[in-house]
Amino acid sequence: MDAVTTEENFHGLTHLRTDGTAHMVDVSGKAETSREASAVATVRSTVEVVSLLGSGDLPKGDALAVARVAGIMAAKKTPELIPLCHPLPLSKVSIDFDVAGDSVTVLATVRTRGVTGVEMEALTAVSVAALSVYDMIKAVDKHAVITDIKVVAKSGGKSGDWAL
């Protein structure tokens, strides 16, 4: 057995042991609480393309409906995509859009009742939703950009609540 226990960590990083190797954090001793996280991403394009997006008139169809479902599906697949994430019973995933001017802001909010947070699920959901928007508009704007992906709020758990 490895001489380094999973309780030790490297420079305070919970996913690294003292020898620098990665491990999945043991969350079995943590209290189950209601937890929520929200993340945003922005897809920048042109005013004309964003107008088509908002009206559902893109050549590929209703991009926002497709992106919403893609984001929800992505949140559920987070532990398959991010190697050290714990599988969580998600109780709610919502994906919303703010279509204005030359950009679309995507907001993902994820909820669970569990022993670890859902920040990674929110980030995965918003990223995949933004990627789906990009995929739906690339036929009419090959220069669209996805930017500013970040967690904007989190609640529940020992570390408490915060929001940008």
Domain ranges of the chain: 1-27, 33-156
* Mean model confidence pLDDT for the chain: 90
List the CATH code of the domain at 33-156: 3.30.70.640
CB 117 within 8 A of CB 110: no
Instruction: Please report the pLDDT score of residue 5 as a whole number.
Output: 43
Instruction: Please report the pLDDT score of residue 2 as a whole number.
Output: 40
Active site residue ranges: 135
pTM comes to 0.88
Q: Which residue type is seen at 141?
A: D
Instruction: Please report the pLDDT score of residue 4 as a whole number.
Output: 41
Instruction: Please report the pLDDT score of residue 25 as a whole number.
Output: 83
Query: In degrees, to the nearest 5, what angle opens at C-alpha 148 toward C-alphas 42 and 81?
Result: 90
> pLDDT 10s per residue in the chain (164 long)?
343 444 455 566 676 777 778 777 888 888 899 999 999 999 999 999 999 998 988 888 899 999 999 999 999 999 999 999 999 999 999 999 999 999 999 999 999 999 999 999 999 999 999 999 999 999 999 999 999 999 999 999 888 899 99
CB 79 within 8 A of CB 89: no
